[in-house]
Structure 1
Amino acid sequence: MPTPFRHTRPPSPKSATGRTAEVFEQIAVDFGIERPPTFVVLSSVPELLAPAWALMRESLIAGDGSRTGRELAALGVSLANKCPFCADAHTVLLHATGDHALAEHLARGGTPENEEHARVLDWGRRTRVPGSALAPYPFPPEQAPAYLGTALAFHFINRIVSALLTEQLLPGNAQRFRAVRSLAGRSVARTVRRSAVPGAALPLLDAPGPGPDWAAGTPVGPAYDALRTAALAGSDLLDADDLTLVRETLWAWDGGHPPVVLRGFPNRRERPAARLAVLAALAPYRITEEDVAAWREPSRSDASLVRLVAYGAFAAVERIETTMRVPAARA
């Protein structure tokens, strides 16, 4: 049977125990979808699964402000990152919020007619470019932790999805049809429109720190800190030269997508780990079977590949986050 997974075979969620089982139980209740592949693909590494879910939950689902607005921010991020799976998912979730006309207008490639909605979508797109001028915010300053957390969560999730899942949200790309999008949205509408209690995901984490200043005093901060710690731990899969190469590449990155011919990228044969990490950061949809095979050896499990991809993905997130100039934007 075909699966949505590329390069790995995650364990069956039905066999999950302990913290992994607790995460999937909370996802089913608060996201409205049991065992979504977006998170199943991380389940071979529970220490990544829990904070990835926590950051999305505490920002997109339980954060302050309009769920429609945060969905638009996440959609903007997903479009900027060329992640059709996530872009389609957020279109479906806009149906779930009850914004059916907006969802269909965006599904056809349109721009929101509502000026506030258009500004939020554009803001989400612009977050891909490190150092981009993101102020003034298209939302109240007190909602910044929720919106910034949502944007950064999806800069991570987009990269995981593009690297390790196919582009099809539904079998046969059924989400192409308006009736299917609407029906899928309505199936989770009750959950999406229900208020979620902030902080409920934090007990799933291992003693996180308070997180960055822009999320101070909110559950978004510890969730971000936990994901940062877990994802960057994947650096142990690269040697010192690889790490230097990844960091230098990310520092020079201007937010663009690489050309068809990947000039200047680490060589697959000489530096396969660095190549996978850099691709995960800048163009995860360009990771091929050949790239993975060049890195694979008997000691390198699916869990190791997930950790390596997560490291590259979060290296890009950190590059974006550290150049957001948040204090200036909130002044």
Structure 2
Amino acid sequence: MTTPFRHTEPLPPASAAGTVAEVYAQIALDFGIAEPSTFVVLSSAPELLAPAWALLRESLIAGPGSRTGKELVALGVSLANRCPFCVDAHTVLLHATGDHALAERVARGGTPHDEEHARLLDWGQRTRVPGADLEPYPFPREHAPAYLGTALTFHFINRIASALLTENLLPAGAQRFRAVRSIAGRALSRTVRRTARPGQSLALLDDIDAGEAPAWARGTPVGVAYASLLRAAMSGAGLLDAADHDLVEAALQDWDGTHPPLGLAGIPDRRERPGARLALLAALAPYRITDEDVAAWRRPEHSDHCLVHLVAYGAFIAVDRIESAFSAQITQEAL
């Protein structure tokens, strides 16, 4: 049977228990999509699944600001990261907000007619470049935790989706058809337009220490969720030896947001450093991860849990590079 999953075989959601089942229940209630593959693919690592969901919920769904505006930011991020799965998902979700003409215009590659919408889409695309000048924000400053959190959420989720899912949001690529996108969006409209209470996902987290919350989200549920995901994702570094870890971290320090060239210059050979290669591809070009790359790294002791953690580590070091640039700009403004 064809599935949307690449490189892993998640357990059927019907068999979920404990934290995984609780996360699925909240996703169905607040996201409107039961068992979306972007989260099912993380289910072998509940310690990643819960904070990834929490960050999305507290920023995109329950955070302040327009849902249409945040969907445009998420769409811009997904375009910049070349993640067709997430581009299609956010097009459907724009239909769910009721902005049908806007959804179809951006689906065709057009620029929104509304100036504010165009600025939000462009801002989301520019967040891929660490240190890009993102000021002035195209949203009220008091909404920054939700908008910055949304951007960073999808810098993470795009990479997970591109690495571990196929490109098809719906079976047989049905999302390519306008009528299907519209119908799918309308089915979600009641949930998308409902007000969600902030903070309700935090009960799903094992560790709610907000000590590592970034300054732009301190004192908010977004900050707690971000800190939790940071700790969970960075634990994947333990799957690399010291030399590979140093190589990956050094490469991300020099990254300027560009996509690697076709020849993957600067990416280690899979025969020599397969772990470092997987982590760097997850960070910079997850859509370039192949079966051969995974097979070169995988050993009998490497379960799906391990692969998900290694990919999440690579994804998050890119997120951390982008977030560090956000924080540096905010600190500079405060001086």
TM-score, length of structure 2 as denominator length: 0.97
Take 1:172 and 1:300, find their aligned partners in 2: how far apart are those partners?
A: 31
Helix, strand or coil at the partner of 1:59: helix
Q: Any idea what the Cα deviations from partners look like across 1:252-284, whole Å, max 9, x if unmatched? A: 111000111111211101110000000000000
- 1:195-234 mapped onto 2 (5 Å cutoff): 195-210=195-210, 211-234=213-236
Helix, strand or coil at the partner of 1:188: helix
Q: Which residue of 2 aligns with 1:279?
A: 281
The amino acid across from 2:74 in the alignment is A
Q: Is the 8 A contact 1:135 1:329 kept in 2?
A: no
Take 1:68 and 1:264, find their aligned partners in 2: how far apart are those partners?
A: 38
Q: Which residue of 2 aligns with 1:3?
A: 3
The amino acid across from 2:262 in the alignment is V
Q: Which residue of 2 aligns with 1:289?
A: 291
Query: Is 1:59–2:63 an aligned residue pair?
Result: no
- 1:120-139 mapped onto 2 (5 Å cutoff): 120-139=120-139
Take 1:330 and 1:182, find their aligned partners in 2: how far apart are those partners?
A: 44
Q: Which residue of 2 aligns with 1:140?
A: 140
- Structure 1 residue 328: deviation in Å? 4.4
Q: Once the two structures are aligned, what percentage of the paired residues are identical?
A: 71
Q: Which residue of 2 aligns with 1:69?
A: 69
- 1:185-200 mapped onto 2 (5 Å cutoff): 185-200=185-200
Q: Which residue of 1 aligns with 2:109?
A: 109
The amino acid across from 1:31 in the alignment is F
Query: Is 1:247–2:249 an aligned residue pair?
Result: yes
The amino acid across from 1:161 in the alignment is A
The amino acid across from 1:41 in the alignment is V
Q: Equivalent of 2:301, from 293, 299, 302?
A: 299
TM-score, length of structure 1 as denominator length: 0.99
- CA pair 15-327 structure 1, distance change in 2 beyond 3 A: same
Q: Which residue of 2 aligns with 1:312?
A: 314
Query: Is 1:172–2:161 an aligned residue pair?
Result: no
Query: Is 1:326–2:330 an aligned residue pair?
Result: yes
Q: Any idea what the Cα deviations from partners look like across 1:144-195, whole Å, max 9, x if unmatched? A: 0000000000000000000000000111111111100000000010000000
Cα RMSD (Å)? 1.0
The amino acid across from 2:244 in the alignment is D
The amino acid across from 1:192 in the alignment is V
- Structure 1 residue 199: deviation in Å? 0.2
- Structure 1 residue 329: deviation in Å? 5.8
Q: Equivalent of 2:259, from 248, 257, 260?
A: 257
Q: Which residue of 2 aligns with 1:269?
A: 271
Take 2:101 and 2:332, find their aligned partners in 1: how far apart are those partners?
A: 36
The amino acid across from 1:34 in the alignment is A
Take 1:329 and 1:180, find their aligned partners in 2: how far apart are those partners?
A: 45
The amino acid across from 1:238 in the alignment is L
Structure 2 spans left out of the alignment, 5+ residues: none
Take 2:119 and 2:72, find their aligned partners in 1: how far apart are those partners?
A: 9
Q: Which residue of 2 aligns with 1:28?
A: 28
Q: Is the 8 A contact 1:214 1:327 kept in 2?
A: no
Take 2:254 and 2:117, find their aligned partners in 1: how far apart are those partners?
A: 32
Take 1:136 and 1:149, find their aligned partners in 2: how far apart are those partners?
A: 17
- Structure 1 residue 217: deviation in Å? 1.7
Q: Any idea what the Cα deviations from partners look like across 1:205-248, whole Å, max 9, x if unmatched? A: 12322211100121000000000000000011000000100011
Take 1:56 and 1:136, find their aligned partners in 2: how far apart are those partners?
A: 24
Structure 1 spans left out of the alignment, 5+ residues: none
- Structure 1 residue 318: deviation in Å? 0.2
The amino acid across from 1:164 in the alignment is L
- Structure 1 residue 327: deviation in Å? 3.6
Q: Which residue of 2 aligns with 1:17?
A: 17
Q: Is the 8 A contact 1:136 1:329 kept in 2?
A: no
Aligned length: 331
- Structure 1 residue 12: deviation in Å? 1.1
Take 1:188 and 1:133, find their aligned partners in 2: how far apart are those partners?
A: 35
Once superposed, which parts of structure 1, at least 4 consecutive aligned residues long, lie more than 6 Å away? none
Take 1:121 and 1:263, find their aligned partners in 2: how far apart are those partners?
A: 30
Take 1:251 and 1:156, find their aligned partners in 2: how far apart are those partners?
A: 17
Q: Is the 8 A contact 1:137 1:329 kept in 2?
A: no
